[in-house]
Structure 1
Amino acid sequence: MITDKLRLLFVVDAICGRNGVGTYFQDLVAHLEGHEKIARVELVAPGIEAPHPCQGASIPMPGDATQRLYLPRMRALTQLALAMKPHVIIVPGPGFFSLAGYWIGKKLGIPVCVTHQSDYRAMVSLYWHPLLAGPVGSLLQLLNIRMFRGSSSVITISQSMVEHARGIGAINPRLVPTPVAHSFVYHPVTAIRRKIQRVMFVGRLAAEKNIGRFLELAEQRPDLVFEIVGDGPQRRLVSQKAAELPNLIFTGWLSRDQVLQHLNDNDLLILPSSVEAFGTVALEAMARQRLVLTTLACGINQWPALARGLFTLSPEETLSSALQRIEALPYWERQSIAEHARNAACRLNGDAIQSWLNVLEHTALQQRYLPRPARSATFALLRRFATE
C-alpha cells in the first residue's frame, strides 16, 4: 500500500507550450505541484529558451522544419529517476524521451502510465509520402502497442481515442479530462462584444489544422479582422496571405500569457482541424468565455458538458455559413453560450486533476504486482555510469 505522498516523473518529448501535448503536460504538472497528495513532481521535456538538463542533441523533425526531435541524456535521466524514486513514471508515446522513460521504469520496476493523445498513423500520412508513411506509421503503432501492453495504466483524452487505443491493444484505457492552465481559469474575464468583430486561430500551422479554410474565410469577410497565432510548416503560406489581405494579422508563436491576452481581444476562435485528438486551445478559449467553432474531428466535442458550449461545423457547412449562423443569434444567446462554456471548462478542469490523481494512485499500487526487475547487464552498467 502506498502511504506516502506520490512522487511523479513525467518524461515527455513535446516542448512545453509549443503544441497540444506539450501544453497539456505543462498545465497538468503546474496543477499537481503543491497538491496535498503530491510529494514531488518533475517534468522532463525539451526546452528551447531553457534547455532541460536531461536534454541532449536534436535532429530536424521529418516533414516540419520548424520543429526538432530531441534526444534524452540517458545518464542525467537515469540519475534523476534513481534520486527521486518515483512511484509512477508517466509518458506519452512513442518518442525518444518517452521510450527512455518507459525503459527506465521497466528496468527499475516502477509502474508506467502511458497517455494516448495522437493517432500517429493519421499524422504521419499527412506529412510523408505514402511509400514512407506506411512503414513509419506501422512502426509507431507497434511501439505504441508494446508500451500499452507493458504499462500499468493507459490514459486517453476523448472517447474516440479510447476506442482507438482499444483497437490497437490497450486493455483498459481510462478516459480523463484535459486540464486548463491556472491563469486561463482564474484571470478575470470580459463579456463578448455585441457583434462579432475579431476572429482567431491558434495552433500549429500544419496540414491537419486545415488552415487554408481559415484563410479563405478571411478573404470572404473583409468586414472582420482575422488573427492567426502559431508556427509550423505552413508559415510561409500564412505570411504570404497576411501580406495580401489587410484584414488578416499573422502574429506568429506567442507565449501562453500572450495567448491569453489575445483570446481576450477576440470574439470567436475557429479550429477547423481534420485531425485533432482534443483541441486544448478550444478549451482555453472557453475558459476565457469566448465563442468557439470546431469541426466534428475535434475530440473536445465528445465531452457532452463542453459540447453544449461549442459551435460545431457540420459536414455540409462552410466556415462562412457557420459564421453567419453564429452571427444571426441574438446577443443574449451568444453571451449565454459563452458563459456556459466558461463554467463547463472550469468544472472540467477540477475533474481532470481529480481523475489524474485517482489513476496515478491506482497505478502506484500496481508496483506490488510487477515482476522483479531483471538483472540486465546493460542497465547495471548504465546504473553504475549514472551513479559515478
Structure 2
Amino acid sequence: MKIAIVTETFLPSTDGVVTRLTASIRYLMKEGHDVRVIAPDLGVYEFEGAKIDGVPARTLPFYRSKQFALPNSVVRKLLKAYDPDIVHVVNPAILGLSGVYYAEKLGYPMVASYHTNVATYLDYYHLSIFKGLIWWYFRKLHNKAALNLATSQTVQKELTKRGFHHVHVWQRGVDTDMFTPDKYDAEMRDRLSDGHPEKKLLLFVGRLAPEKEIEKIKSVLEESDEFVLAIVGDGPHRLALEKHFSGTNTFFTGYMHGEQLAKAYASSDVFVFPSTTETLGLVIMEAMASGLPLVAAKSGPTCEQVEDNYNGLLYDPENPADFTATVRQFEDETLRRRLAQSAHKEVSEMGWEGQSEQLLHFYQEVAGLEGNNEKAKLT
C-alpha cells in the first residue's frame, strides 16, 4: 500500500503529533507498506526508509519559534508523482490546506486527523472573536475527508457536535521501552533540581506557550519549600516564563529528547500538567510509563487518562487555589509512591503497535482494501 502523509509538523520538531507519526510510520514500514511524508522543509529528508518531501518553510509573525509551510502547488506535483493509495492529512490548517485540496482534486481517498484545539487557544491570545471562523475553516477542511480521527473520546464528541463528519477515536500509545522508571539517573536529578535532589521534584514537559497555563505552578513553590520545579521544553512563551518564575527554585532545560528526556521523567517525583486545552496530552502517558503520578486539570481528555487518587490527582480549574492545594498533597510520600505505582501499571504494556495497527485498518477501509491484506501491502 502506498501511503502519503501531509503534515504541518515533522522531524526534527518533537511534539506529540510527530511522536505519534514516527511511531506509526515505523510500524507501517515494518509491515511492508510504502510511506511518503510531505512536510515543511526543515532539513530532514528520510525517516527509517520513508522519504520526506520538504515544502519551503518560514516563520510566521504570530509564532516566531517555529517554521511553517504555506499552501503550495508543489503538493499537487508530489502527490501526482507518488500516486498514493491513501492520503492522510495531519492537523490540516496551512500546508494541510494544499493536502486536502489536491487530494480531493486528484481523486485520492483521504483521512484527516485532528490534534490541536486551535479555537480554544485563541482565548489565550485575545483573539476569541475569531473562534467561530476557525471552527468553520477546520470543519470545511475535515469534511473533505472520508474519515476523521480524534485523539480522545471528548474531542470526538466535540467535533461531532460541531458538524465534523465520520469522526473516530485514534487510540493512545506510548513508547514503554523508552519511558520506564529504570531510566532514573542521579546526575539528571541533581541537574533538574538545581542541586537540591533531596526536595520533591516537580516536572513539566511540553511546548512553552500561554495556553499551557504553566504560570499556575509558581504558587506551589511560593507556599511550600518542599518542592523544586524543572521545565523541559521551549516555545514562544519561554522568556515570559523565565521572568515569571524568577526567584523561585525553577530550572529551565530547553528541549530534551530520547534518552535524556526519558531520564528526566524517571528522575523526577511528580508530573504537573496545568493545561485545560489538550486533545490528548502524550506527555501524560510518557510520565505514567516513567512511574510518575500526575497533577492535571479536570478536563475531558485528561480524565480519560488520569483517575483521581488512583494514578494521579485532578484539580478543579475553576477554583484558583485548588491547583496548589492538590500538588501539595504530594508532600505525603506514601501517597506519592502509591499513585506512582498505579500510574506505571496503567500503561506499562501499552506500546505503540495497537494504535498503529488501528491506523492501518482505517487506511485500508478508506482505500477500499479492507479484508485484503495481501493487496493492501502491495507497493
- The TM-score, its normalising length taken from structure 1, stands at 0.79
Q: Secondary structure at the match of 2:70?
A: strand
Q: 1:212 aligns with which of 215, 219, 223?
A: 215
Matched, 1:336 2:331: no
Q: Does the CA-based 8 Å contact 2:159-2:167 persist in structure 1?
A: yes
Q: 2:114 aligns with which of 95, 113, 116?
A: 116
For residues 275-300 of structure 1, what are the alpha-carbon distances to aligned partners after superposition, in whole Å with 9 as ceiling and x for unaligned? 11111111111122222221122613
User: Which amino acid is 1:237 matched to?
Assistant: A
User: Which amino acid is 1:103 matched to?
Assistant: Y
Q: Partner of 1:222 in structure 2?
A: 225
Q: Secondary structure at the match of 1:347?
A: coil
Q: Partner of 1:371 in structure 2?
A: none
CA–CA separation in structure 2 for the residues paired with 1:267 and 1:87: 46
CA–CA separation in structure 2 for the residues paired with 1:225 and 1:305: 25
1:147 Cα deviation (Å)? Answer: 2.4
1:183 Cα deviation (Å)? Answer: 4.9
CA–CA separation in structure 2 for the residues paired with 1:304 and 1:218: 24
CA–CA separation in structure 2 for the residues paired with 1:56 and 1:163: 35
- The TM-score, its normalising length taken from structure 2, stands at 0.81
Q: Partner of 1:65 in structure 2?
A: 64
User: Which amino acid is 1:289 matched to?
Assistant: G
Q: Partner of 1:89 in structure 2?
A: 87
For residues 57-103 of structure 1, what are the alpha-carbon distances to aligned partners after superposition, in whole Å with 9 as ceiling and x for unaligned? 424152x332333225532x334323332221111343222111112
Select between 66-75 and 150-159 the one with higher mean Cα deviation. Answer: 66-75
User: Which amino acid is 2:332 matched to?
Assistant: A
Q: Partner of 2:129 in structure 1?
A: 134
Matched, 1:165 2:159: yes
The 1:91/1:263 distance shift into structure 2, 3 A limit, reads same
Q: Does the CA-based 8 Å contact 1:230-1:253 persist in structure 2?
A: yes
1:104 Cα deviation (Å)? Answer: 2.0
User: Which amino acid is 2:17 matched to?
Assistant: V
The 1:15/1:350 distance shift into structure 2, 3 A limit, reads closer
Select between 297-306 and 206-215 the one with higher mean Cα deviation. Answer: 297-306
1:184 Cα deviation (Å)? Answer: 2.7
Show structure 2 runs of 5+ residues with no match. 46-51, 190-197, 371-379
Matched, 1:244 2:247: yes
CA–CA separation in structure 2 for the residues paired with 1:182 and 1:49: 29
The 1:288/1:59 distance shift into structure 2, 3 A limit, reads same
CA–CA separation in structure 2 for the residues paired with 1:103 and 1:307: 47
Q: Partner of 1:12 in structure 2?
A: 7
For residues 30-69 of structure 1, what are the alpha-carbon distances to aligned partners after superposition, in whole Å with 9 as ceiling and x for unaligned? 33331x2x4112232225454764221424152x332333
Select between 263-272 and 298-307 the one with higher mean Cα deviation. Answer: 298-307
Matched, 1:23 2:28: no
Aligned length: 351
For residues 192-247 of structure 1, what are the alpha-carbon distances to aligned partners after superposition, in whole Å with 9 as ceiling and x for unaligned? 99x872111111221211111112223333332210012223211222245422x2
Q: Does the CA-based 8 Å contact 1:196-1:267 persist in structure 2?
A: no
User: Which amino acid is 2:345 matched to?
Assistant: H
For residues 337-364 of structure 1, what are the alpha-carbon distances to aligned partners after superposition, in whole Å with 9 as ceiling and x for unaligned? 2332332xx3263431222122121111
Q: Does the CA-based 8 Å contact 1:286-1:341 persist in structure 2?
A: yes
1:186 Cα deviation (Å)? Answer: 7.5
CA–CA separation in structure 2 for the residues paired with 1:65 and 1:362: 39
Show structure 1 runs of 5+ residues with no match. 1-5, 368-388
Query: Greater helix share, 1 or 2?
Result: 1
1:190 Cα deviation (Å)? Answer: 5.1
Identical columns (%): 19
User: Which amino acid is 1:171 matched to?
Assistant: H
1:162 Cα deviation (Å)? Answer: 0.7
Q: Partner of 1:56 in structure 2?
A: 56
Q: Partner of 2:195 in structure 1?
A: none
Q: Partner of 1:107 in structure 2?
A: 105
CA–CA separation in structure 1 for the residues paired with 2:290 and 2:156: 28
Q: Partner of 2:311 in structure 1?
A: 309
The 1:83/1:310 distance shift into structure 2, 3 A limit, reads farther
CA–CA separation in structure 2 for the residues paired with 1:59 and 1:262: 30
Q: Secondary structure at the match of 1:227?
A: strand
1:303 Cα deviation (Å)? Answer: 4.5
The 1:61/1:312 distance shift into structure 2, 3 A limit, reads farther
User: Which amino acid is 1:334 matched to?
Assistant: L
CA–CA separation in structure 2 for the residues paired with 1:258 and 1:185: 10
The 1:341/1:196 distance shift into structure 2, 3 A limit, reads farther
Select between 91-100 and 108-117 the one with higher mean Cα deviation. Answer: 91-100
CA–CA separation in structure 2 for the residues paired with 1:224 and 1:168: 42
Select between 15-24 and 254-263 the one with higher mean Cα deviation. Answer: 15-24
The 1:244/1:9 distance shift into structure 2, 3 A limit, reads same
Matched, 1:44 2:38: yes
Q: Does the CA-based 8 Å contact 2:6-2:87 persist in structure 1?
A: yes
CA–CA separation in structure 2 for the residues paired with 1:160 and 1:181: 23
CA–CA separation in structure 2 for the residues paired with 1:21 and 1:61: 22
